[in-house]
A and B are shown apart, each in its own frame.
Chain A
Amino acid sequence: MRRSSFTFSLVVFVVLAPLCATPLFAARVGDLTEASYTTQFFRFLTFSDPSLRYALVGVVLLGLSCGLLGSFIVVRKMALMGDALSHAVLPGVAAGFLWNTSKDPVAILIGATIAGMLGTATVNAITRTTRIKEDAALGLVLASFFGAGLCLQSMIQQLPTGNKSGLDKFMFGQAAAIGRDDVALMALVTLGAVGLVAALYKELLVTSFDQDFARSAGVPTRWVHHALMLLLAMTIVISLQAVGVVLVSAMLITPAAAAYLLTDRLHRMLMLAAAFGVAAGVAGAFVSFVGRNLPTGPLMVLAASAIFTLAFFFAPRHGVLARWWRQRATAGRTQRENTLKAIFHVWEQNQSANGGIGFPALAARRRISLEAARKEVKSLVRHGMVTVHGQMFSFTPAGHWRAAEIVRNHRLWELYLTNRVNIAPDHVHDDAEKIEHVLGDELVRQLERRLDHASVDPHGRAIPSPQEIYRHAGLRDEAKGRK
């Protein structure tokens, strides 16, 4: 983590350095109303517009810090605390503006951070001293603070200087309005966020996943929480200009939620979330720059949502498609094993018939049509469990091995439930139907030991013993290898 934090700071400085060197004069992005889409596109790619450069650096910084801190609020199940906090800073923004009736970024940052901390404190006080639950407390604080902020703001707009305050830009954000001072402040807060995560990584990790353990290990969980909240409030404030009050929470939650779907390790999640935040920010700024008159904030949010949607469907382990595929694979395997079991039963009943088993016998056993039986056998052939010759088919060694295993699992479990758990013999079949597919070797050994290597199940049928499987399946190694 130390190394990656170093990388982060490096990125921040590399991005910032050329900016400070360039002379500063700029038409606002909004002034370029006559330019065509292609010109705008070209201007975007060549960074020829200084105000665009600020905007871009700004969204990169905010994407970074939102992704980092957002990861923690997502794994701590405090996502909606981010939402409440982002609305609660509004009265602070207005108060910061009133400080010297100008849009001084530092005054606004201080005012908004205080308001945000006051909001969190109020949520805590309400949940601690009343029966009101956290969700209602969050909603209550969110909307009340926001209402107070709107009141203040509408009062400010009636001041002689208020009309030019640009406070309305804080609602939906306008990246183009980001100036040099704003970028400097954003860089400072981002450094703070990166520094906090780097310095307290272990503490943050352990308090996020196991509060009790953290406390017993002597981690000051309260202080870690407060530090996180403080930086969260500051991050929200620096993001306001680009994303707006209403949608900041999305930049905290959405990239982090997408990253959460992609990895199980916190440090990887942090990097992914930061990368997604930056990507969403740049994409939003780009579209808002090329297509004029579009608010930046909502576009950045939509870009982040697009990333989340991709992760939702295509994440390798936790995505919907992966899950669906896994379920299908399991269902297919279960069905094949059920067919194997039925073939084993048929084979068991007339072991003398050496020529193999006919499809009608299998169909009758499985209570399915002849057509379906042929299909199931075909699937087994594909998996090397069975070979077909003419109208008959027979096990391959591997198939025989697996079939015997399934039947053994089934009967062993039935016996265990009957003898050790004292369940009536006619009630054990359904349970065994399920568990036969998942019993592992180790558990089977233990069951056999507990049952004194019994050889007959509660219904009087033989439990295929390992020796028997040996004898019929022939080569053990070959069978194991092909399983």
Chain B
Amino acid sequence: MNGLVPIFDARNIFVMPWTDGRSVFGTIMAMGFLVTAACGLIGNYLILRRMALMGDAVSHSVLPGLVIAFLATGSRGTGAMMLGALLAGVATTIIVETIHRKTRVKQDAAIGVTFTTLFALGVVLVSVYSSQVDLDAECVLYGEIGLMGPIQGWLDWPTPLVRMLVVVVLLGGVIGLFYKELLVSSFDPGLARSLGVNPVFVHYGLMVTLSVVVVSSFEAVGSILVVAMLILPGATASLLTNRLPQVHILSLVHAALSAVGGVHLALALNCQIGPAMVVMGAFLFVLAWVFGTRDGLIARWCRRRPLVHGTRTANG
């Protein structure tokens, strides 16, 4: 048990990342924020549409898409990766729909069967072609956010950071552009159809966007922690408000806090940074769950007490 948690060193944990280690940890925090922000923004819609587990499915099944794209093009170019992930994402959606529409297997089991198959295929491909594919099991599980190079100069940023920034900006643009369609079709599919919004189009559009977000986050946080990034910000925000614009803003705040907090937590515990960010995000969720003013456990308890008291007097 001894030596598991390093001796508490406030200077190393709280001061160092902002002073000496600024260029390294600043990049990591920025990347963590961008990844969580992108995932959180799209995750809000997954939560609203009760498709949170499609996020889980797509994040696993992009793996074979990536590997096949590597093998086909022999490079780790952004274009090939995106294309592979897109195809894998759309294939997952189609297979899940086919299984649960054509047979009596329910949607949850269909999701379970599909993504595990594709993920297993990906892992086998990785181990068979391990010499050709620049990917290993570690990367799939943890991501490499801790291994990113520092920001060298004013405009000399590491490529993954730039790519992620572009993805976040594009995602913000897409959400801004189709805000009304997404809003209506998420809350009232019937109304959306009568307003001329094609639900199939929105569904597949969302899945394609999800694949892009997942694949660009993949390198940083791996394929399982992405699920946390997709759901935690939106779930935390939805405990605090029920207006969609506020949910978006709060999930960005959650992303920033969990990225910064995660780095500090990783330094304090001397553990991997990606998982630490998830733990921090989960901690923020628990805070909102307990102390939230609307749905928080304490607020609920306080609201219920007078009622119990009132009933008692009425009976007595």
- Tell me the A residues contacting B by CB distance below 8 Å: 74, 77-80, 82-83, 87, 98, 101, 126, 129-133, 135-140, 142-144, 146-152, 154-156, 158-160, 168, 171-172, 246-247, 249-250, 252-254, 256-257, 260-261, 293-295, 297-299, 301-302, 305, 308, 312, 315, 318-320, 323
Contact check, A151 vs B127: say whether CB atoms are below 8 A apart: no
Q: Once the chains bind, are A98 and B235 in contact (CB under 8 Å)?
A: no
Q: Nearest Cβ in chain A — how far from B258, in angstroms?
A: 10
Q: How far is the CA of A318 from the CA of B229 in the complex (A)?
A: 38
Q: How many A-B pairs fall under 8 Å by CB? A: 220
The answer to whether A142 touches B104, judged by C-beta atoms less than 8 angstroms apart, is no
Cβ of B147 within 8 Å of any chain A Cβ, yes or no, is no
Q: Is the CB of B231 within 8 A of A143?
A: yes
- Contact check, B285 vs A298: say whether CB atoms are below 8 A apart: no
The listed residue (B52, B119, B224, B297) touching A146 by CB distance below 8 A is: B224
Q: Which residues of A contact B123 (CB under 8 A)?
A: 172, 247, 295, 297-298
For chain B residues 220-263, which have a beta carbon within 8 Å of chain A?
A: 224-232, 234-235, 238-239, 242
**Residues 257-272 of chain B, each 1 if its beta carbon lies under 8 Å from chain A, else 0:** 0000000000001111
With A172-B123, A249-B112 known as contacts, the answer to whether A148 contacts B282 (CB < 8 A) is yes
**With A140-B231, A144-B228, A147-B225 as given contacts, are A154 and B103 in contact (CB-CB < 8 Å)?**
no
Also in contact, A139 and B225, with CB within 8 A (given A144-B282, A249-B112, A261-B103) = no
Complex: A101 Cα to B123 Cα, angstroms? 29
Q: How far is the CA of A252 from the CA of B271 in the complex (A)?
A: 31
B25 at interface, CB cutoff 8 A: no
Cβ of B279: which chain A residues have Cβ within 8 Å of it? 144, 147-148, 151
Which residue on chain B has the smallest CB distance to residue A248? B116
A259 CB to nearest chain B CB (Å) = 11
B108 touches A140 (CB 8 A): no
What is the interface size of chain B, counting residues whose CB is below 8 A from a CB of the partner?
68
Q: Determine whether the beta carbon of A246 is less than 8 Å from that of B119.
A: yes
Contacting residues, chain A, for B78 (C-beta < 8 A): none
Instruction: Using A131-B295, A143-B278 as known contacts, list a sample of 9 further A-B pairs with CB atoms less than 8 Å apart, ordered by residue number in A.
Output: A137-B235, A139-B227, A143-B227, A146-B225, A148-B282, A261-B105, A298-B123, A305-B120, A312-B103
Is B4 within 8 A of A319, CB to CB?
Answer: no
Using A133-B47, A133-B50 as known contacts, say yes or no to A305 and B108 having CB atoms under 8 A apart: no
Compute how far the CA of A444 lies from the CA of B235 in the bound complex, rounded to whole angstroms: 57
Does B11 touch A at the CB level, under 8 Å?
no
Cross-interface CB contact of B119 among A147, A247, A254, cutoff 8 Å: A247
27 A-B contact pairs sorted by A residue (CB < 8 Å):
A74-B109, A80-B56, A80-B108, A130-B289, A131-B242, A132-B238, A132-B239, A133-B52, A136-B234, A140-B285, A142-B227, A143-B232, A148-B275, A149-B275, A150-B271, A151-B271, A156-B4, A249-B116, A250-B113, A250-B117, A257-B110, A260-B109, A294-B127, A295-B123, A305-B113, A305-B116, A320-B103
Q: How far is the CA of A301 from the CA of B52 in the complex (A)?
A: 23
Do residues B120 and A155 form an inter-chain contact, with CB atoms below 8 A? Answer: no
Contacts of B163 in A (CB 8 A): none
Find chain A residues with CB under 8 A from B232 CB.
Answer: 140, 143-144
Check if B124 is an interface residue, CB within 8 A of chain A: yes
Knowing A250-B117, A302-B124 touch, does A139 contact B282 (C-beta < 8 A)? no
Contact status A147-B105, CB under 8 Å: no
| A130-B239, A294-B127 known; A140-B228 Cβ under 8 A | yes
Assess whether B106 is interfacial by the CB under 8 Å rule.
Answer: yes
Contacting residues, chain B, for A135 (C-beta < 8 A): 50-53
Contact string against A for B residues 136-177, beta-carbon threshold 8 Å, 1 for contact and 0 otherwise: 010001100000000000000000000000000000000000
Of the residues A148, A150, A152, A299, contact of B141 by C-beta under 8 Å: A150
Q: Is B306 an interface residue (CB 8 A)?
A: no
The 9 closest A-B pairs by CB, nearest first: A147-B278, A143-B228, A250-B116, A144-B282, A150-B275, A298-B120, A301-B120, A253-B112, A305-B117
Does the CB pair A320–B102 fall under 8 Å? yes
CB distance from B243 to the nearest CB of A (A): 14
B308 CB-CB contact with A under 8 Å: no
- The 8 Å CB contact of A147, one of B56, B228, B269, is B228
B109 to A79, Cβ gap below 8 A? yes
Determine whether the beta carbon of B52 is less than 8 Å from that of A136: yes
Which A residues lie within 8 Å of B99 (CB)? 312
Across the interface, do B53 and A301 meet the contact criterion of CB distance under 8 Å?
no
Chain B: CB-nearest residue to A147: B278
Q: Which of A78, A101, A148, A323 contacts B108 (CB 8 A)?
A: A78
Mark each residue of chain B from 21 to 65: 1 if its CB lies under 8 Å from any CB of chain A, else 0.
000000000000000000000000011001111011000100000
Q: Given A171-B141, A250-B112, A298 and B121 touching (CB < 8 A)?
A: yes
Check B116–A254 contact: CB distance below 8 A.
yes
Within 8 A of A (CB), among B72-104: 99, 102-104
Q: Kindly list chain A residues whose C-beta atoms are within 8 Å of the C-beta of B103.
A: 261, 312, 315, 318-320, 323
Please state if B112 and A98 are interface contacts (CB–CB under 8 Å): no
Known contacts A147-B279, A155-B270; A129/B113 CB under 8 A = no
B133: interface (CB < 8 Å): no
Q: Is the CB of B231 within 8 A of A155?
A: no
B1 at the interface (CB under 8 A from A): yes
Contacting pair B275 A139 (CB below 8 A):
no
A contact residues around B274 at 8 Å (CB)? 147, 150
Cβ contacts under 8 Å, A160 to chain B: 3
Residues of B within 8 A of A77 (CB): 106, 108-109
